[in-house]
Structures are given as C-alpha cells and as structure tokens.
Amino acid sequence: MAMFFGEFLCYIVYVIVFAIEQVARLFKRSPDKEQTTPLLDREDTSEGVDVLGSVLDDAELLGDDTSPVADEEKKEKPTLPFWKSCYFFIPAVFDMVGTCTMYIGLIFTYASTYQMLRAFVIVFTFALSVIVLRHRPTTQAVTAIVLIMIGTLVVGWVSVATGDEGGEAAAAKDPFIGNIIVLVAQMFPALQFIIEEKLISRYRVSGLRAVGLEGLCGLVVVMLAMPIMYFIPVPTWFMESGQLENAIEAIYQVMHSPQLVIALSVSIVSIAGFNFCGITITKKMSAGSRATIDSCRTLFIWLISLAMRWESFHTVTIVGFAVLVWGTLMFNKVLPGPKETVRFMWRTVTRGRKKVVPYEPVPEDEYPVVAVDDGAVIV
C-alpha cells in the first residue's frame, strides 16, 4: 500500500500545480478579455477532453515543451479523456502482482540472487517492445542488453560466491524455487512498462498525472484485495500469522514503532520520485531505456552497502559494474555501438594513408596517333 500511496502523492502535486496554473492565468489575463471570456471556455470539453489534464500538460514539469517538435507532438496526440483514466488500472495491477510475486520469491532465495535476477526485466521489456510496440531491434541495442546482463550476473555471482549474504543465507528456504519465482515475476513489470509506454505514446498526459492515476488505481485494488487476503489461510512456515495478509497487525506495528514510521515515510517519498522519473524516461525515451537505467540501481545499493559496511569490497565487482554502466550508456546511445566502434577504429588506422596506384605501362599499339593538318593537331 505504501508504494501506491507514494504514487498517489504525485496526483496531489498535480492538482496543486493545476491550481497555481489557474491562478497565474487569471492574473495574466487582460481586462478586456476578462470581461468577455470565462476562465475555462477555451478548453474544448464537448468531446470528453479532460480540462485538468490539458491545462497542466501545457506546462509539463521536467520537460521542454516549448520546442517546435514538442508543439507538433501535442497537436498530433489527443489529451487523455477523464473516463479513460481507468486504463491505468492495468499497469497498476501488473505492478502490484509483480511486486508481491518478487517478495514471495525473496522469502525462498538470497537477497543478492534476487537483485541479480531482477535484471532479467530488461530482456522481457526488450522482447515485448519488439513484439507489442513493433520496435525494430538494432545491433547496438542487442549488444547493450548482453553487456548489461553480463555485468549484472558478474555482480550477483560475486555476492553468492563470496558469501556476502551473511545470516540471510540460512533464511533462504528453497533457493531454486525462489529463483524461478523471481525470474517469472519479471514479466509483470515488463508488461507494466510496455502498457505505460503504449498509453503515453497515444495520449498527451503529464508524468505527474500518469503516476498519480496509477497510484489511485493501485490503492483501489489494494483496498479491495486486503480484506480478501486476510481470510486466506497459508502455512505458518510461509507467514507466521497463518494469513496471506494481515493488515491489522501491520497497522498496529506501524503505530507502535517510530522507526517504521520514519522508514515508511522515506519509502513513500522515494517511491513517488522514483516512479515519476521512471514514467518521464518512458515518455521521453522508451520503456527499454527505463529498464536499462533502472538496472544501475544495483550500483548505488552496492556503494551504500560498502559505506554502511554491510558488504566487503571485491575487485571483480568493479569490473561487473563497469560492464553494466557501459551497456546502459550504449543502449541509450551515449556511447557508440559495435558497428560504429569498428568503423571509428578502421578510420583511425587508415587515416593519413594515401592510395598508391601501381604504374602500368601502355602498350605501343595503343599509343594515340597524332597528325598535323594545316596547323591543327588531330588525334
């Protein structure tokens, strides 16, 4: 629930920005127009266009929408109607199912292996973008994904081989089953990314509104699912309470633990910013770019773990992260791909060399015959 509540905070910010936009337009309006033109008359609502979305999208946050390209895209894309906001139920459900499934897998496997297997969302996202969104795969993109997978697997292998799991290794009930669950769960966030890209590529919707609607839809789904999961019995080795979800106990623990309140508050704010940045990357770039950039999260987790002395330093880990960052930059076209690299190296090697044409003597029977006629040369 904390995840969707954090996303819903974006919609609150969205409404606040909308109110500021309305007040600013009211003060900027000239007196002659103010007497004859109502405030919202210029927004076309005859075909179900959402006025709230169209006003804020004109001043979208973290985006330069004043360029001619952005203006042209706005004319081509219609504003998301209010009644179509329910479309965000679909990515919200995939987000909830994927998160719950991954946490179930985390119960059975190691934390480092869990983080390593999460990188497979890149493969699923890339495959779905080719199948569903009809994106054309390139050699550079495929090479970048292979590099990202190699870097992530190297980092995860170091954690498993060196035993950095510590006490968590004993808590892993069945690593094989847990790995399968975590691996299958990566399909759900990949579907979430693809559907979000499909929606924001078809309709003109701001990042705040998209994340806020997804959070609102997720809250509704969780509110309906929590009472049902409370009465679903599970083995005690899976959940100590014997229930699939015990919201009453969770609320009690939060109310009697200041540490949990601080942790949840920080988590809610970070989730709001994380998802807003993620949907913005999807809108400006693609779902694949979002998945590849998200894989670099492991680098910051490793740095924080080193600073907190939760993990020990290993040189091989640096190599893995270097390959991971290399693949991420290559996928987002910051660094050149294999073809461009080979072409650049070839031009560098062959630069400065002059092409030497070998001398071939002309046979005597092919010499031109020259004659002089009244002072003119005839060949």
Which has the higher per-residue pLDDT, 269 or 337?
269
Which residue type sits at 118?
A: R
Mean pLDDT of 115-135: 83
Band of pLDDT at residue 159, cut at 50, 70 and 90: low
Q: What are phi and psi of 377, to 5 degrees?
A: -90, 125
Mean pLDDT of the chain: 75
Q: Label residue 188 by pLDDT band (50, 70, 90).
A: very high
What string of DSSP letters covers 137-160?
P-HHHHHHHHHHHHHHHHHHHHHH
Instruction: Of 10-14, 157-161, 217-221, give the lowest mean pLDDT range.
Output: 157-161
Share of the chain above pLDDT 70, in %: 75
Q: How confident is the model at residue 57 (pLDDT cuts 50, 70, 90)?
A: very low
d(CA 5, CA 235): 29
Alpha helices in 163-296 (DSSP H): 168-171, 175-185, 187-202, 207-230, 247-255, 258-284, 287-295
Of the segments 44-48, 258-262, 371-375, which one has the largest average pLDDT value? 258-262
List pLDDT tens digits, range 264-285. 899 888 888 888 888 888 888 8
Q: CA-CA distances (angstroms) from residue 20 to 16, 82, 273?
A: 6, 21, 21
Report pTM.
Answer: 0.67
- How buried is residue 44: exposed, middle or buried, by Cβ count under 10 Å (0-12/13-18/19+)? exposed
Give the range among 41-55, 143-157, 282-296, 330-344 with minimum mean pLDDT.
Answer: 41-55
pLDDT at position 36 is: 43
pLDDT band for position 68 (50/70/90)?
Answer: very low
Task: Determine how many CB atoms are found less than 10 A away from the CB of residue 265.
Answer: 12
Look at 372 and 1; give whichever has higher pLDDT: 1
The pLDDT, as a whole number, for residue 328 is 81
Whether pLDDT at 70 is above 50? no
- Give the three-class secondary structure for 369: coil
Of the listed ranges 106-110, 131-135, 171-175, 302-306, the one predicted with least confidence: 171-175
| pLDDT value, residue 375 | 55
CA dist 200 and 103 (Å) reads: 29
Residue 41 has a pLDDT of: 37
Q: Tell me, what's the pLDDT at 361?
A: 65
At 227-245, the pLDDT tens digits run 888 888 888 777 777 888 8
pLDDT for the residue numbered 262: 92
